Amino acid sequence: MRGRTLLIAAAVLALLVALPWIGVPIPGLFERSLDAPGTLNVLALCFVFGTLALSYDLLFGYVGLLSFGHALYFANGAYVFAIALTRWHVGLPAALALTALAAFLLPLALGAICLRMRDIPFAMVTLAFAEAGSILVMQNPLGLTGGEEGLALSADALPAALVGVPNTHNLYWIALALLIVAYAVARRAVDSPAGHVWQAIRENERRVAVLGLNPYGFKLGAFVLSAMIAAAAGVVYVLLQGGANPQITTSGFTLALLVMVVLGGVGTLWGAVLGGIVYEYLDFRLVALANAPVLQAFPAVVRIPLSEPLFLLGLLFIVLVLFVPGGFGGLVRRRAPAAP
């Protein structure tokens, strides 16, 4: 069974790597061919959000920490990287180094404070820090963040291979590589002795403390690791979007991550990845559906809700929670044959 799973995974990975050379459309999924820059950009964004959902599942699904501020760390990677390149005019290696440093220090400092609390107080404190970060970005301190307009990325600081529509395939491969590396790191982490302690903390933190282990230190390690993966996703997001925007700093963005993880299956890394990919793809496709001429034939009481992508995503979420408990991951586990 394990060998079959690995074979399927290898085949899917080979297909994804070769996608920029496949010039055929998929009716009903993509209007243009798979090698079109628009299609590759959408798929790359799906990989970024799959990585981001993975990072949140690492915290919520494996340690049991319900954070309402995870968007802050995604925005941390995006804005520090964009500011370093555009405002401070440093080179790409230096910008990546500064972003990595910020991606480590910010969650280390904030996690050390937030993790002094548990359950609802923890969630509220993470929300407070996220809201403070969002306000800071909107205030445009020292003209660094661009405020409501966001911060466009300076193309002069990037290698030519990462600039322009013809090079979208390179960004696609970077996003795919990010997802693969992030999954490998997360899988190694949850299968490690520390990962087993994380899951024990999720089940019963007091029992872990009675056994002589320090839950605080393990939780802080998971907090920092998940935030760093989120920051890495923020860097690739900026490359794909050509800049950072304040929408990624909001608490609503974190709630979207929670929806992604629940859709995919809490506590299943691959399920969280799938949830993030499906959510982002539907968010893209439902915008087109909302503007479809066929909706104009419906009465207003039906047409208006169906023209809102968030309404349709919320409806899908409710249906899956009611009829597919455990998300996509739970569905696969129930259908998988029992081990002998």
Query: pLDDT tens digit string along 240-279?
Result: 998 899 889 887 788 888 888 888 888 888 889 998 998 8
Q: Which amino acid, 323?
A: F
Buried b (16+ CB within 10 A) or exposed e, 161-196: eebeeeebbbbbbbbbebbeebbebbeebbeeeebe
pLDDT for the residue numbered 126: 93
- Distances in whole angstroms, Cα of residue 33 to Cα of each of 17, 49, 129, 265, 286: 15, 22, 43, 31, 19
Q: pLDDT, tens digit, for every residue of 175-184? A: 999 999 999 9
Check whether 1 has a pLDDT greater than 80. no
**Mean pLDDT of the residues in the chain:** 86
Q: What is the pLDDT of residue 335?
A: 59
- Does residue 338 surpass a pLDDT of 50? no
Give mean pLDDT, residues 34-40.
Answer: 85
User: Do 41 and 97 touch, CB atoms closer than 8 A?
Assistant: no
